[in-house]
């Protein structure tokens, strides 16, 4: 999904889109964020792939990200094995199991991370469903993240038959998102009003 444009132009285009969307996220009220989180939770839980998944790799939302806390708790309560990332010093992601809200502790960059034993960077390959953070996604599945590349590295390890779903706020599914050769696309997006949109 490479764009073919020079790296500095691609990076500038990504930065501009991030700035636009993150400003819109900051403008959301607490009630709007909570309502969006409930809608996303219900949309993801109703997916057939979620209902069949024994293991789900996800992420614990922070700040103005679409809220995943209720979704992760609901998955855990229904007996799904939930893996959450541990950010490593080199920017890669290790994984450990979520064992309820009390199993989390403060990690780097303001993240909340599981305190269970690390299972290694390849643990994501055991997931039947992967929920990925995104700033924006386009209708080809191109995903714009925060720019660190951590989730791209993790998504590159996921098998081609495993659903990968980005969670978005309203207005973050775009016609075009700038992407380069190292950007790994997702196979679906979840939005509060539209529910699940699948790509390709």
Token pair, residue 120, equals 């290694």
Half-sphere exposure of 30 (CA within 13 A, CB side): 0
Orientation angle between helical segments 69-77 and 30-45, nearest 10 degrees: 30
Q: According to the model, what pLDDT value does residue 48 have?
A: 97
User: Which domains, and CATH codes, for the chain?
Assistant: 7-198 (3.40.50.10420)
What tens digit of pLDDT does each residue of 103-114 get?
999 998 888 999
Integer Cα distance of 78 and 46 in angstroms: 13
Q: According to the model, what pLDDT value does residue 1 have?
A: 46
3-state helix, strand, coil in the chain (%, to 5): 35, 20, 45
Q: How confident is the model at residue 42 (pLDDT cuts 50, 70, 90)?
A: very high
What tens digit of pLDDT does each residue of 4-17 get?
678 889 999 999 99
Token pair, residue 31, equals 């009630």
150-188 per-residue burial string, b: 16 or more CB within 10 A, e: under 16: bbbbbbebbeeebbbbbbbbeebbbeebbbbeebbbbbb
- Read off the pTM: 0.94
Q: According to the model, what pLDDT value does residue 4 have?
A: 62
Q: According to the model, what pLDDT value does residue 181 have?
A: 86
């Amino acid at each position: 999904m490479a764009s073919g444009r020079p790296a500095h132009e691609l990076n500038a285009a990504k930065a501009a889109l991030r700035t636009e969307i993150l400003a819109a996220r900051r403008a959301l009220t607490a009630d709007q964020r909570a309502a969006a989180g409930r809608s996303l939770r219900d949309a993801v839980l109703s997916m057939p792939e979620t209902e069949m998944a024994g293991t789900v790799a996800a992420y614990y939302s922070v700040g103005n990200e679409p809220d995943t806390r209720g979704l992760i708790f609901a998955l855990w309560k229904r007996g799904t094995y939930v893996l959450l990332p541990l950010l490593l010093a080199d920017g890669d992601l290790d994984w450990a199991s979520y064992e309820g809200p009390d199993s989390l502790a403060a990690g780097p960059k303001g993240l909340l991370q599981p305190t269970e034993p690390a299972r290694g960077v390849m643990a994501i390959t055991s997931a039947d469903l992967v929920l990925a953070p995104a700033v924006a996604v386009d209708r080809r599945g191109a995903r714009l993240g925060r720019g660190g590349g951590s989730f791209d590295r993790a998504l590159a390890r996921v098998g081609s038959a495993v659903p990968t779903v980005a969670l978005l706020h309203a207005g973050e599914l775009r016609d075009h998102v700038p992407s380069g050769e190292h950007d790994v696309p997702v196979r679906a997006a979840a939005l509060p009003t539209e529910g699940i949109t699948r790509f390709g």
